[in-house]
Amino acid sequence: MRGGEKVEAYVTLEEAAELEGLKYKSMSQNIIRNQDKFKIQKEKSAEGGKDRVLVAVSSLSKSARNAWREREKLRKLAEAPLQDEGGEPQDIRQDAPWYVGTDIEWYMSNYKEHYYKGVELHNVVRKFLQYDDRGRTQYAEEFSEKYLGKNKRTLYRYLESYNEAAAWADRLGKEDGCDYGFFTVLALCRKPKQTGMFPSFKPEVKQAVQNIWFNKGFAANQGTKEMLYEKLQELASINRWEYIPSYQSVVRYVNWLMTEGRMGNAWLLASRGTKEYKNRAMVKASRDTGALRVMEIVMGDEHTFDCWVSLTMPNGKMKAVRPVLSAWIDVRSRTVMGDIICEHANSQVLKQSVLKMLYQEHGGVPRFLYVDNGKDYTGYAMTGRNRKERYGMELAFDEDARGFYKSIGIEDYHRAKPYEAWNKGEIERCFRTVCDKFSRWFTSYTGTLTGSKTSAKVPKDIQKMLEAGKLLTMEEFYQKWDEWLHTKYERSASSALKKQGEKWLTPWDVYENAERYEKPAPPKSYATILMMKEENVPVRNVGIVRRGYEYRADGLCDFIGQKVNIRYDPDDMAKLYVFDLKGKRICEAACMELLPFGQVSEKAVEHFRMQNSQLGRDRKRLEEARKPFEEINGQYAGFNPTAGGISLMVEGKGKAKTQKGRMVAFPDSKLYQENPDLRGRKQDAAGEGDSYFAKSAEKALQKLRAMEG
């Protein structure tokens, strides 16, 4: 205001066209045709050329004037600096209306009724803005009553919201070039209700509810909401809280935490533990198995069938057992190989399974193995390393002790993590197919006994079926399995292969036709040696004792009192192959019969020869260890023949003196009694007595050796 007059505001012709919602050329022609209605002025352009045309805001329509006022509010708000620690310009979005950050599609899908009502109000407001200012107050009253059924103040509130939304749409549209015209509709819609606020809950009450509900013991016992509220009342009494929400409000808060609060997985972790959490909630990734070659990666695992068969014991009795399948599956083709069915799987069964995979039709050596974490698959005999060490260096000893996998020609192996079945999902899904399409056809099927739901169990009187002869024998069951595997499983289309994008859709077709990793199997004679059972046993002075028999060899003498590794064929125990703990081969130990009493047999002579050989070998080693230093190095002549030139042991000097009154125990042997020279008589200084003593001692020693032999 200057001198009581209102200052006229002007905008450029381009901005006037935007406010009116017209194109620049249309707005220019409109001004030319209606010069009496528009108040304009010209100013020189700073860049030169034609003068700029400015249009008075008062000359524009009502809707354009309202839009200009809202623009001015936003412009002033953005230009005002924010005096805070950072000194950054004010972010106008901080005070933006709720619809500025709202997704229009989300609002339309969740609040359809509110959105269409907003569209109707939007049309009403636009119709009102088309009216001229003449008789505005009376017209607004009549208009609001006619179209809204309310007074004019409600219409003015809608008009203000509309203009504000138009200003925000214009401002953000200039920033990123997008169309935000829907703001004028959302501004007239009902604001979405904010959930999870729970204004009646004090911070300490919210925290107490979470502490109880997510407590490890409370969650593990499947604590109920009634239990939670009971404990919350106790806490309120102890802490003297004046008010706690009602039970219904606490239930709604807990439900909100579990759903919209995204705490459901956290509760699963607290109640079920890490194992179940990883299985049900942890994010997984899919493997690109289609990029593998056939036999490049093979997975191995054991599966206990969900049905029962009869097994004949060595004593002739029959018992019901659940057969166990030990098998391998090619990851690329999903073909099952090396399948062996038995009562209990162990490392020997596993070796037989691997050899069957190698030597079966169209078989071969796989490049990598992906094995279960069980001890049968990761034992020292199979891997050549301690199973407690998940990642370790290769054992650097000879071929026979490297571990069965690498000795047979497999490049390397990988262990699945404990309790994470999804790491070997291909073979686990195969076993699921076996359960659904094979095991369920047997009358003795009793359901998934390892399932988490009781409804998965099928009650059957297995003992009664055994006695009635309704159970298949183990051999008959294997025949059924072999027939199903080769005629149905391998020849049926697989959804996994289809998803993988394979050209061939059956496991056998992929196994036969896809690109293949080729490596021939080793000779069967070599594989037979690797099939031998391995054990860690002590070496006693009678040799190695296994199954009541003694095994001896010359090479074992140096290992008496120590432990060694042995390999043997359980069906032929005549010979043991012996290795030290580092894998170096020692000898072959043969089974020895017990020595007879009272006679000297060939076995006894061989035993004495072994004793003498051992004694002579150790005497020679002792002699080498005691050899004086000057004998080894003549240049050090005169060096005291003791370690380091000092006396090692403490001993007396000079002649021994008889102590009076001291008792001595004399030897009771006949040798001692018949040789008076051994009873302390002084010997001749010339050495005659010494010579006789030496001869007598040597004879006595020979007799003692003969007696001890």
pLDDT of res. 477: 92
In a domain, 602, yes or no: yes
Do 326 and 271 share a structural domain? no
pLDDT at 84: 45
**What pLDDT is stored for residue 691 in this prediction?**
54
Determine phi and psi for 488, rounding to 5 degrees.
-115, -55
53 and 101 belong to one structural domain = no
Q: Round the CA-based radius of gyration of the chain to a whole number and report it.
A: 49
In this structure, are residues 227 and 218 in contact, taking their beta carbons and an 8 Å threshold?
A: yes
pLDDT digits (tens, 9 = 90+) for 195-249: 667 878 888 998 999 999 999 889 889 899 999 999 999 999 999 988 888 898 8
| C-alpha to C-alpha distance for 274 and 281, rounded to whole angstroms | 10
Residue 5 has pLDDT above 60, yes or no: no
Question: Can you tell me the distance from the alpha carbon of 692 to that of 22, in angstroms, rounded to the nearest whole number?
Answer: 142
Q: What 3 state SS string does 462-479 have?
A: HHHHHHCCCCCEHHHHHH
| Amino acid present at 179 | D
> Is the model's pLDDT at 545 over the cut of 50?
yes
Q: Span 351-377, mean pLDDT? A: 81
- What residues make up the domain containing 347? 289-513
**In 95-246, alpha helices (H):** 104-110, 112-129, 136-147, 152-176, 183-186, 203-213, 216-220, 225-239
- Does some domain include residue 452? yes
Q: What is the mean pLDDT of residues 273-295?
A: 76
| 564, 594, 611 - which closes a domain | 611
Residue in this structure with the two tokens 């022609």, named with its chain if needed: 29
Which H or E run contains 418?
none
pLDDT 10s digits, 302-339: 888 989 999 988 888 899 999 999 988 888 888 898 89
Helix axes 136-147, 152-176, angle to 10 degrees: 90
Residue 670 has pLDDT above 50, yes or no: no
User: What pLDDT, on a 0 to 100 scale, did the predictor assign at position 706?
Assistant: 56
pLDDT exceeds cutoff 50 at 682:
no
Cβ distance 178 to 172 under 8 Å?
Answer: yes
Q: What pTM was computed for the model? A: 0.52
Contact (Cβ atoms closer than 8 angstroms) between residue 137 and residue 44: no
Q: Which residue has the higher pLDDT, 43 or 441?
A: 441
Looking up residue 348, the CATH number of its domain turns out to be 3.30.420.10
User: How sure is the predictor about 478, in pLDDT bands with cuts at 50, 70 and 90?
Assistant: very high
CA–CA distance, 60 with 132 (Å, rounded to integer): 11
Average pLDDT, the chain: 75
pLDDT band at 674 (very low <50, low <70, confident <90, very high): very low
What is the 3 state secondary structure string of 535-597?
Answer: EEEECECCEEEECCEEEECHHHHHHCCCEEEEEEECCEEEEEEEECCCCCEEEEEEEECCCCC
Which residues, 6+ apart, have CB-to-CB distance to 615 below 8 Å?
Answer: none
Asked if pLDDT for residue 444 goes beyond 50, the answer is yes
Residues 444 and 542 placed together within one structural domain of the fold? no
Sign of the alpha-carbon torsion through 25, 30, 36, 38: negative
Judgement on whether residues 263 and 324 belong to the same structural domain of the protein: no
pLDDT for residue 3 is more than 70:
no
pLDDT value of residue 631: 61
Which of 490, 485, 483, 529 is closest to 506 using CA atoms?
490
Q: How far apart are CA 569 and CA 550, in angstroms?
A: 16
Residues 400 and 549 both lie in one domain: no
Average pLDDT over residues 64-85: 61
In the chain, what percentage of residues exceed pLDDT 70?
A: 72
Write down which residue in 186, 221, 249 finishes a domain: 186
* 482-535 pLDDT tens trace: 999 999 998 988 888 888 888 888 999 988 888 888 888 777 767 776 777 778
**Residues in a beta bridge with 538:** 563
Residue 49 DSSP one-character state = S
* Residue 237 and residue 259 share a domain: yes
Cβ pair 401, 579 in contact under 8 A: yes
Whole-angstrom distance, CA of residue 402 vs CA of residue 405: 8
Residue 234 sits in the same domain as residue 316:
no
Structural contact between residues 536 and 563, judged by C-beta atoms closer than 8 angstroms: yes
Kindly list the distances between the CA atom of residue 112 and the CA atoms of 106, 126, 186, 392, in Å, as whole numbers in the listed order.
10, 21, 12, 62
Whether residue 518 lies inside any domain: the answer is no
pLDDT digits (tens, 9 = 90+) for 379-391: 777 777 766 665 4
Instruction: Say yes or no to pLDDT of 85 above 80.
Output: no
φ/ψ of 582, rounded to 5, equals: -95, 0
82 domain-assigned: no
pLDDT score of 279 more than 50:
yes
Q: What is the number of structural domains in the chain?
A: 5
User: Residue 76 above 80 pLDDT?
Assistant: no
Give the three-state DSSP class for 447: strand
Residues 163-182: what's their mean pLDDT?
81
What percent of the chain has a predicted confidence (pLDDT) above 90? 10
Predicted confidence at residue 310, as pLDDT, reads: 92
Q: Does 229 share its domain with 130?
A: no
Residues 469 and 583 in one domain: no
Per-residue CA distances from 67 to 7, 57, 169, 637 (Å): 19, 10, 11, 117
The pLDDT of residue 564 is above 80: yes
What is the predicted pLDDT for the residue at 395?
35
How far, CA to CA in Å, does 213 sit from each of 233, 260, 268, 293?
14, 16, 11, 50
625 within some domain: no
* pLDDT value of position 370: 83
CATH of the domain at 578: 2.40.50
Of 38-47, 522-531, 598-607, the least confident: 598-607
Q: Which of 19, 42, 60 is the last residue of a domain?
A: 60
Task: Looking at the structure, tell me whether residues 448 and 483 fall in a common domain.
Answer: yes
Q: For the chain, what is the largest distance between any 2 Cα atoms, rounded to a whole number of angstroms?
A: 162
Place of tokens 């929400």: 245
Asked which of 168-177, 374-383, 415-424 is least confident by mean pLDDT, the reply is 415-424
Residue pLDDT, tens place only, 615-667: 677 777 677 776 665 565 555 444 444 444 444 445 545 554 444 444 444 44
Most confident of 77-81, 466-470, 683-687: 466-470
Q: How far is CA 417 from CA 160, 270, 422, 423, in A?
A: 64, 21, 10, 7
Same domain? For 497 and 469 the reply is yes
- Residue 516 three-state SS: strand
Return the top range by mean pLDDT from 8-17, 136-145, 320-329: 320-329
pLDDT given for residue 191 in this prediction: 86
Beta bridge partners of 563: 538
Please give the pLDDT value at position 678: 42
By CB neighbour count within 10 A (0-12 exposed, 13-18 middle, 19+ buried), where does 188 fall?
buried
Q: Which of 25-39, 100-114, 549-563 has the lowest mean pLDDT?
A: 25-39
Alpha carbon distance 528, 214 (integer Å): 57
Beta bridge partners of 588: 577
Tell me, yes or no, whether 324 lies in a domain. Answer: yes
Residue 99 lies in a domain: yes
Residue 69, number of CB atoms within 10 A of its CB: 15
| 541 and 500 co-located in one domain | no
pLDDT the model gives residue 286: 65
Does residue 498 fall inside a structural domain? yes
Indicate the range of 68-72, 306-310, 400-404, 435-439 predicted with least confidence.
400-404
Residue range 457-462: mean pLDDT, rounded:
85
